[in-house]
């Protein structure tokens, strides 16, 4: 009753040697629990990211592709906002680079995925302020 949104963080591997979890394997259980607690509230993925896969140059790119595809495909219909955690390592280890541009493959995967018309770059609240219209994002 006192909150407008539910926020969640979704991280894949953050340090070399971590088990490689897919975006959906991390989000699935948490998402279902959040929706069961508050089925009427929108969910924001306030941060999501992963490091480069140590032995697969396309690993991070595929992780990003899966994340954006799963959202576009409607697997998580309560998710209404996302924000990629674009951060270098907090320890100084270059292998812990979560940034989108840690590789050309990762950056291309993000650009191609987020460029889909499903994702918007102008908040709905801005349109509401300009037009007075209220609505929900279309799938």
What superfamily would CATH give domain 6-131? Glycosidases (3.20.20.80)
pLDDT digits (tens, 9 = 90+) for 22-70: 999 999 989 999 999 889 899 999 999 999 988 888 999 999 999 999 9
Predicted local distance difference test score (pLDDT) of residue 55 = 86
Provide the residue ranges of all domains of the chain, joining segments of one domain with +.
Answer: 6-131
Predicted local distance difference test score (pLDDT) of residue 137 = 47
Listed in sequence order, the residues at least 6 apart from 65 whose beta carbon sits closer than 8 Å to its beta carbon are 109, 112, 113
Burial 120-137 (b: 16+ CB within 10 A, else e): eeeeeeeeeeeeeeeeee
Pairing of strands 79-84, 43-49: parallel
Q: Which band of pLDDT confidence, cut at 50, 70 and 90, is reported for residue 14? A: confident
Dihedrals φ, ψ of 7, to 5°?
-110, 150
């Amino acid at each position: 009753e006192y909150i407008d949104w539910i926020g969640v963080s979704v991280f894949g591997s953050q340090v070399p040697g971590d088990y490689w979890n897919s975006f959906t394997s991390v989000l699935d259980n948490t998402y279902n629990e959040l929706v069961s607690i508050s089925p009427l509230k929108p969910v924001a993925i306030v941060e999501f990211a992963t490091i480069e896969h140590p032995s697969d140059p396309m690993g991070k790119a595929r992780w990003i592709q899966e994340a954006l595809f799963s959202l576009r495909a409607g697997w998580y219909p309560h998710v209404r906002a996302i924000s990629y955690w674009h951060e270098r390592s907090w320890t100084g280890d270059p292998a812990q680079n979560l940034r989108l541009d840690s590789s050309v493959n990762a950056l291309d995967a993000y650009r191609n995925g987020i460029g889909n018309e499903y994702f918007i770059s102008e908040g709905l609240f801005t349109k509401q302020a300009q037009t007075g219209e209220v609505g929900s994002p279309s799938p």
